[in-house]
Chains A and B, each alone.
Chain A
């Protein structure tokens, strides 16, 4: 699998890079918990973070003029353990300068089909929008938050717990309903690519130029498993800083650990991130699908409980 991936990017002139796993900066994303550690360099002491993804460092390389790059690395996420999660996992992340989201999606499909060629289980790729797929499986409009409609749906579809958990948060409601009633259906025939996420779930993607209600973000699924996330990358430093501030405020309100904005990353955006699209794919889950394993522990030499 790793050899095929390296061959794929080598053939396309994409440069393999390596960035630090241990770094001064970390993302503000409230849903991503991180590992931190103390760095002693007598007489100084500072806090360093194990990276939840190599995104910031890779974007700093892009801003410095690297051109298209890819990386196969470890990433660390605190508290994530389950059938599809291990706190330390492998990630393929790549950025293509000059690509918009659809050019990126074409490349994703090609890569996935190259990887699954020998296995022959993937049939037709389905490209759809978040709105279309959400409406198809639930009848709800994901772009227009109506607490009453969402709560009615939840009560009638065995998801009554959502009403208390999600309360007035549109994003939480979408996470809840999507992961329970939409995602399990996706990619049962072949690769499923969902784009046009609601703007409240834009993460580090641009808001769509024609429709500000959606973001240029794509997620891919096979057999109901979320494999990866891609963005037409936000290059606007001011907007990026505003999102950081919003997430830091959210962290404060919800008693989550405080995070400082990654200045070096923001400076890189100010100096100019080229127009680009980027994608990250969880390699352990990919290996699960390639081998037919039904738990991530089966594809890890030593899962966290035995590491």
Chain B
């Protein structure tokens, strides 16, 4: 397997660290004028999502991690695994709840999302930035209230609960920003 030396470290590079696949966020060359050179690296553990800082002696190297991000279509949940498919090849992957994580709250059948594969197995799932989902449950709307103030919780078909304005009704489709979990707008049919 290929390895990368500290000189090649740059944002986005996927490497193995302490047996976990990680993505380098930032690499800073540190060298006192008359001293040892170091690489101070900000790195995200792709399994846990945690960001840590590590220091390497200049010239050290790390093994590359076989990690790729692929756009896939979400198919269905069989109760134990979620199933995804690469549209071009029809290749299918199953991911457990650990890999899916919070992304599961935003997944609707047929929607596209990004699946991170490590050694060809799903490691993480990121939903599209914006998804359109139907409200399955919310308090009855207040007619005429079009202000943004206040709001009420609404449960969505995918399982997530978001705050929506008072005028939004159960059964309506809404657009949500999955990065913040915030309501964006109603979707006109």
Interface residues of B in 22-58 (CB under 8 A from A): 28-38, 40, 53-58
User: Contacts A31-B35, A171-B35: A179 and B58 contacting too (C-beta < 8 A)?
Assistant: no
- Given A79-B58, A82-B28, A82-B29, does the pair A158, B53 have CB atoms closer than 8 Å? yes
Q: Which 8 A-B pairs have the closest CB atoms?
A: A82-B29, A175-B35, A161-B55, A175-B36, A203-B34, A165-B57, A229-B33, A179-B30
- Whether the pair B55, A79 counts as a contact (CB closer than 8 A) is no
Question: B53 contacts A31, CB within 8 Å?
Answer: no
Give the residue of A29, A85, A165, A178 whose beta carbon is less than 8 angstroms from that of B55: A165
With an 8 A cutoff between CB atoms, is B129 at the interface?
A: no
Please tell me if the beta carbons of A80 and B36 are within 8 angstroms of each other in the complex: no
SS class, residues of chain A in contact with chain B? mixed
Q: Given A29-B34, A31-B36, do A81 and B54 touch, yes or no (CB 8 Å)? A: no
**Chain B interface residue bracket vs A:** 10 to 19
A174 to B35, CA, bound (A): 9
Interface presence of A172 (CB below 8 A): yes
Give A205's nearest chain B residue, CB to CB: B34
Contacts A175-B35, A175-B36, A203-B34 given: A161-B56 contact, CB under 8 Å? Answer: yes
For chain A, the count of residues having a C-beta within 8 Å of the partner chain is 31
User: Which partner residue on chain A sits nearest B29 by CB separation?
Assistant: A82
Complex contacts, A228 vs chain B, CB 8 Å: 33
The contact of A180 among B29, B31, B55, B58, by CB within 8 Å, is B55
B29 x A83 contact (CB < 8 A): yes
Q: Which residues of A contact B7 (CB under 8 A)?
A: 79, 81
CB contacts (< 8 Å) of B32 on chain A: these are 175, 178-179, 183, 226
* Interface residues, chain A, with chain B CB atoms under 8 Å away: 29, 31-32, 79-85, 158-159, 161-162, 165, 171-172, 174-176, 178-180, 183, 201, 203, 219, 226, 228-229, 282
CA of A162 to CA of B58, assembled, Å: 13
Q: Which residues of A contact B53 (CB under 8 A)?
A: 158
Given known A165-B55, A180-B55, contact A31–B34 (CB-CB < 8 A): yes
- Please tell me which one of the listed residues B35, B54, B56, B57 contacts residue A179 in the complex, with CB atoms under 8 A apart: B35
Among B37, B56, B57, max chain A CB count under 10 A is at B37
Q: Give the contacting residue for B33; candidates A158, A171, A176, A226; CB below 8 A.
A: A226
* Bound form: Cα–Cα A161–B36 in Å: 14
* Structural contact, B54 and A161, CB atoms closer than 8 A: yes
Would you call A83 and B54 a contact (CB within 8 A)? no
A171 to B34, CA, bound (A): 11
B38 partner residues in chain A, CB cutoff 8 A: 165, 175-176, 179
With contacts A161-B54, A162-B55, A165-B57 taken as known, whether A201 is within 8 angstroms of B34 at the C-beta atoms is yes
Chain B residues closer than 8 Å to A165, beta-carbon distance: 38, 55-57
